[in-house]
Homo-oligomer: A and B are copies of this chain.
Amino acid sequence: MTAPLPSAAAALLPALKFDRDGLVAAVAQQHDTGEVLMLAWMNRDAVTQTLATGRVCYWSRSRQSLWRKGETSGQAQRLVELRVDCDGDTVLLLVDQTGSACHTGTRSCFFRAVRGGRLERIAEPIVDPRTLYGAEA
């Protein structure tokens, strides 16, 4: 991605429909492999920061604060492209993910699948979560 332009947020924000909590859903997808990594949420500030810095910033609903992905864990997401859906309540983030997107240490948060009538783990951690968050994990 080239340097984000200051006008990007101004162009995007009017197309977004934030919900009653002031959020849009954000799906993060690895830009080259197509792997869906995670779903999180963004408020206006998170969208603006993401476009301004080229690093993905979400809104943490549990902590009620901006969540600069990778700030603690180092597992950051570089923004490659931001897309918007037809009704403006969801964005698709094409990203370049460093390491694991999931706090459990798996590459993707979607590491369980229904197969053969059971819920199976289909991916193992690629990073020890204790190395991501220290004693917090």
State whether the Cβ of A109 lies closer than 8 Å to any Cβ in chain B: yes
From B7, B25, B102, B118, give the contact of A39 (CB < 8 A): B25
Chain A: interface residue count, which band? 35 or more
From B12, B84, B102, B114, give the contact of A8 (CB < 8 A): B114
Q: What is the oligomeric copy number?
A: 2
List residues of A whose CB falls within 8 A of some B CB: 5-8, 11-12, 15, 25, 27, 29, 33-36, 38-39, 51, 81-87, 90, 92, 102-104, 106, 109-119, 122
Additional A-B contacts beyond A83-B110, A86-B104 (13; CB < 8 A): A5-B116, A11-B114, A11-B118, A12-B114, A12-B119, A27-B36, A36-B36, A36-B92, A39-B90, A81-B115, A84-B119, A86-B102, A86-B106
